[in-house]
């Protein structure tokens, strides 16, 4: 597609040749390759030169354009449209590059980029929007290290509008994405802000303080005979199982807090642990359990027990369930060991 300065050869005078004005209908228009087809009076013309690069970026197929003719050469003057709907700067094709310069929108004018077009701000260039104007982008806004959004893109009373699949991205010096605003990579189909935490992009909502909690108030007991120490189980007498917590972790990191009131019979101990399934998967363990031991008194006296731990597993959905074990008295003299738990609470803090 010819540029405005190419038209000097077209407009060079050679006698009494008049300038003509006509209108044409755009059939195809590719601002990147420069190819176009325009119908003028029913005759299709290919690859007409255009007067101005911004004008070229504002034209798409189906538009009515003004046509100038000098001698035998037609050229496109620009878009013919209602000024009430085309008063703003509208880029409908291609990439608007601001390289060290400045675009200033005043008096409520808008800068509109449609149909997947891009704005590139580089070389210290900037965009300033004043008086309630908007920057409306249906594509990509790229800002290099010399032209940051924080200080170079100024919106006074207006809106930066990113539509459809458009995304605002902040990268570090190593070109690694540190923050995004738009459709979430961490949760496709949802929109918002996410930032990198521990190597993973995490939605801002997930970084807010909060926890997943389950509480079981009833009493459940577990027994075993002397010399017989069973493994961990989730089944307690009285059908009082749990607690169980399901949650989602974007980073794979989460903290667990177990709290319970527990009691044991003479010379008996009990452990409350947990197992995980899903993105994090492991079984119960003595090393991560709340331990209750014989206080030297009769059964019925309860103690408050607590255990806390931090895990770094795989991101995703996780279910954590409490598991229990009783350690009975020695085999001599023979006796049954009984442990009981009540008011059990499991608290998960994903982060």
Q: Is 5 helix (H, G, I), strand (E, B) or coil?
A: helix
65-80 pLDDT, tens per residue?
Answer: 999 998 889 999 888 8
Give residue 26's region: left, alpha or beta (phi > 0; psi -120 to 50): beta
With contact defined as beta carbons under 8 Å apart, do 119 and 140 qualify? yes
Q: Using CA atoms, how far apart are residues 279 and 289, in angstroms rounded to an integer?
A: 21
The CATH-assigned architecture of domain 212-350 is: Sandwich (2.60)
Based on the number of CB atoms within 10 Å of its own CB, is 165 exposed (0-12), middle (13-18) or buried (19 or more)?
exposed
Domain limits, CATH 2.40.50.140, in the chain: 4-81
* Contact in structure between 274 and 321 (CB atoms under 8 Å): yes
Q: Which residues of 331-343 are buried (b: 16+ CB within 10 A; e: fewer)?
A: eeeebebbbbbbe
Q: pLDDT at position 4, please?
A: 45
123's torsion region: left (phi>0), alpha (psi -120 to 50) or beta? left
Report cis status (omega within 30 of 0) of the bond before 243.
Answer: yes
pLDDT at 272 over 90: yes
Higher-confidence position of 56 and 11: 56
Residues of the chain with CATH 2.60.120: 212-350
Strand partners, 223: 338
Q: How confident is the model at residue 153 (pLDDT cuts 50, 70, 90)?
A: low
More confident residue, 96 or 220: 220
> Could you read off the pLDDT of 296-336 as tens digits, one per residue?
554 556 788 999 999 988 888 999 999 999 998 877 666 78
Q: What is the pLDDT of residues 15-53, one digit of tens each?
A: 556 789 999 999 998 877 778 999 999 999 999 998 876
Element (H, E) at 9: helix 7-10
CATH number of 4-81: 2.40.50.140
Summarised one tens digit per residue, pLDDT across range 203-242 is 776 666 568 899 998 888 888 888 787 899 998 887 678 8
* DSSP SS3 for 255: strand
Mean pLDDT value across residues 174-181: 82
């Amino acid at each position: 597609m010819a540029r405005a300065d190419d038209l000097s050869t077209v407009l060079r005078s050679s006698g009494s040749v008049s300038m003509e004005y006509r209108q044409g209908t755009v059939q195809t228009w590719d601002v990147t390759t420069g190819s176009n087809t325009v119908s003028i009076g029913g005759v299709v013309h290919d690859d007409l030169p255009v007067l101005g690069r911004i004008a070229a970026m504002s034209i798409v197929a189906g538009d009515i354009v003004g046509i100038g003719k000098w001698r035998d050469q037609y050229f496109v003057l620009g878009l013919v449209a209602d000024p009430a709907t085309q008063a703003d700067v509208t880029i409908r094709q291609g990439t608007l590059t601001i390289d060290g310069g400045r675009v200033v929108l005043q008096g409520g004018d808008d800068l509109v980029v449609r149909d997947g077009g891009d704005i590139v701000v580089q070389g210290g260039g900037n965009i300033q929007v004043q008086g309630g104007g908007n920057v409306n982008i249906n594509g990509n806004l790229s800002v290099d290290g010399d032209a940051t959004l924080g200080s170079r893109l100024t919106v006074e009373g207006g809106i930066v509008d990113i539509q459809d699949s458009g995304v605002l991205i902040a990268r570090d010096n190593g070109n690694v994405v540190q923050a995004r605003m738009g459709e979430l990579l961490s949760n496709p189909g949802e929109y918002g802000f996410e930032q990198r935490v521990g190597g993973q992009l995490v939605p801002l909502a997930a970084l807010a303080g909060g926890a997943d909690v389950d509480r079981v108030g009833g009493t459940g007991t577990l027994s075993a005979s002397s010399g017989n120490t069973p493994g961990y189980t989730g089944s307690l007498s009285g059908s009082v199982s749990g607690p169980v917590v399901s949650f989602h972790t974007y980073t794979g990191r989460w903290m667990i807090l177990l709290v319970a009131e527990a009691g044991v019979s003479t010379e008996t101990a009990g452990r409350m642990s947990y197992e995980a399934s899903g993105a994090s998967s492991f079984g119960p363990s003595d090393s991560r359990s709340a331990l209750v031991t014989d206080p030297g008194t009769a059964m019925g006296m309860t103690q408050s027990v607590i255990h806390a731990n931090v895990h770094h597993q795989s991101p995703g959905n996780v279910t954590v369930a409490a598991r229990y074990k009783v350690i009975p008295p020695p085999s001599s003299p023979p006796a049954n060991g009984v442990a009981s738990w009540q008011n059990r609470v499991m608290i998960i803090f994903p982060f």
